[in-house]
Amino acid sequence: MHNELRQLLRTASGESEFVLAVNVDIRGFSSFFADSSQAAAFLSYVYTKILDEYFPEHSFFKPTGDGLLLVRPLDRDSVADVVVQSIDAAQRLDADFGSLCDDDSLINYATPNNVGIGLARGSATRLSSGGQTLDYSGRPLNLASRLMDLARPHGVVFDESLLSGLDQSPFAELETLQVYVKGIADIEPMIIRMTKPVSIPQTNRRPFGAEVYSEHEDEITRAEIGRRAPRFIHTLTHEPFDLGDVTLHFSHPVGDARGARRKDLQGMGQIKALSSRMGPDGRWESLFDYKDLDAQLTARGVKSTWKVKIRITYPVAVGLGNLGPSEPTAGPAALWT
């Protein structure tokens, strides 16, 4: 097989083709098998079932170690049917995978129960020679792989653009989420659809091309924090890339058993912004629950005259210019809901 491929590569050429790519990964594969014969028997049976019963129309496939990459060409007449069939097959495979080997008499040992599946469509490069497809490459294959990696602990994930121009009502029950995908959607997020078992990690909910920006440190007494309650607005010097990830960090003196301040100890904590927005003056601002902050400090024994250090951090895009000083300002917080 490899000698034939070597010969075909000598005359291979590339052409652009619209495709739908499906990347299937068997979760926890390596930890299940005591020897290679068990793994080989499992993979040969599972791969055959996947190809014959779930994706029989995908004309190109190749193993990826502990999974499969499948590709099916698209055109205007077939795109709707191919997309619907592929999503349906992916969901069925996810639901059935734990029992896929139940009717194989050779497999009497524990096997993996879950798969992660990513789907994407678009223009790819088809490498061919002598009328045979040797390989595919391009964005839809890369994206399907990245989305498959997000489908954990198991489930199906696909890019919202997979449904572009199509009837989306059959997939209304799938959750929609805005995520960042390394190498594909580092700064500008993309919208995905996913089945309910999927839990997207926090690392994919903020830009990859971002760095944490730290505002200047403010130092006020606990009494002043109480006067700012119940809510207080801090203006920001940059536009946050993740409005849900603006954090107020605080540090404070610690008292001894008699309540006297210890100079050698500092307590620390943090609270998340209730919400963030662009304010009336065009500057970004975040709303914090100072009542909760005051309550936490009081519970820790911080006296009203003790100074508390406050610092705001949030992710921003690398290279954004400074927008000016960020002296904390109080606004109509009671109206901000």
Mean pLDDT on 196-201: 93
Mean pLDDT on 316-323: 56
Q: What is the pLDDT of residue 97?
A: 97
- Structure-token pair, residue 283: 């500057």
- Structure-token pair, residue 170: 């059959």
Q: What is the pLDDT of residue 72?
A: 97
- Structure-token pair, residue 27: 């979760």
Residue 65 in this model has a pLDDT that exceeds 90:
no
> CA-based angle 128:59:52, to the nearest 5?
150
Q: What is the pLDDT of residue 326?
A: 43
- Calpha distance 215→248 (Å, rounded): 10
Percent over 70 (pLDDT), the chain: 93
pTM: predicted TM-score of the whole model, two decimal places: 0.67
Average pLDDT, whole number, for the chain? 89
Environment class of 209 (CB within 10 Å of its CB; exposed 0-12, middle 13-18, buried 19+): middle
Residue 175 in this model has a pLDDT that exceeds 50:
yes
Residue 219 in this model has a pLDDT that exceeds 90:
yes
pLDDT band at 172 (very low <50, low <70, confident <90, very high): confident
Q: What is the pLDDT of residue 258?
A: 78
For the chain, the straight-line distance linking the first and the last C-alpha, in angstroms and rounded, comes to: 65
- Calpha distance 152→197 (Å, rounded): 7
> CA-based angle 187:272:157, to the nearest 5?
45
Beta strand segments in 259-306, E: 261-272, 275-278, 284-289
Q: What is the pLDDT of residue 262?
A: 79
- Structure-token pair, residue 97: 């995978």
Q: What is the pLDDT of residue 320?
A: 45
- Calpha distance 94→117 (Å, rounded): 8
Environment class of 121 (CB within 10 Å of its CB; exposed 0-12, middle 13-18, buried 19+): buried
Residue 207 in this model has a pLDDT that exceeds 80:
no
Residue 141 in this model has a pLDDT that exceeds 60:
yes
What pLDDT digit, counting tens, does each position of 95-115 carry?
999 999 999 999 999 999 999
pLDDT band at 319 (very low <50, low <70, confident <90, very high): low
- Calpha distance 120→101 (Å, rounded): 28
**CB hemisphere CA count around 42 (13 angstroms):** 23
Q: What is the pLDDT of residue 270?
A: 93
Q: What is the pLDDT of residue 327?
A: 46
- Structure-token pair, residue 176: 């929609």
Beta-strand pair 115-129/155-159: parallel
Residue 322 in this model has a pLDDT that exceeds 60:
no
Pick from 297, 315, 317, 314: nearest CA to 306: 297
Domains of the chain: 12-205 (3.30.70.1230), 211-335 (no CATH)
What pLDDT digit, counting tens, does each position of 220-262 carry?
999 999 999 999 999 999 988 778 889 999 999 998 877 788 7
Of residues 94 and 13, more confidence is placed in 94
- Calpha distance 161→150 (Å, rounded): 17
Q: What is the pLDDT of residue 330?
A: 47
Pick from 275, 262, 283: nearest CA to 329: 283
Pick from 88, 112, 101: nearest CA to 22: 88
Q: What is the pLDDT of residue 323?
A: 41
- Calpha distance 43→26 (Å, rounded): 10
Q: What is the pLDDT of residue 336?
A: 55
- Calpha distance 60→137 (Å, rounded): 12
Q: What residues contact residue 102 under an 8 Å CB cut-off, 6+ apart?
A: none
Of residues 336 and 65, more confidence is placed in 65
pLDDT band at 318 (very low <50, low <70, confident <90, very high): low
Mean pLDDT on 113-136: 94
DSSP letters of 27-91?
A: TTGGGT-SSHHHHHHHHHHHHHHIIIII-TT--EEEE-SSEEEEEEE--TTTHHHHHHHHHHHHH
Residue 46 in this model has a pLDDT that exceeds 60:
yes
Residue 143 in this model has a pLDDT that exceeds 90:
yes
Lowest mean pLDDT among 115-119, 304-308, 321-325: 321-325
DSSP letters of 208-232?
A: TTEEEEEPPPEEEEHHHHHHH-SEE
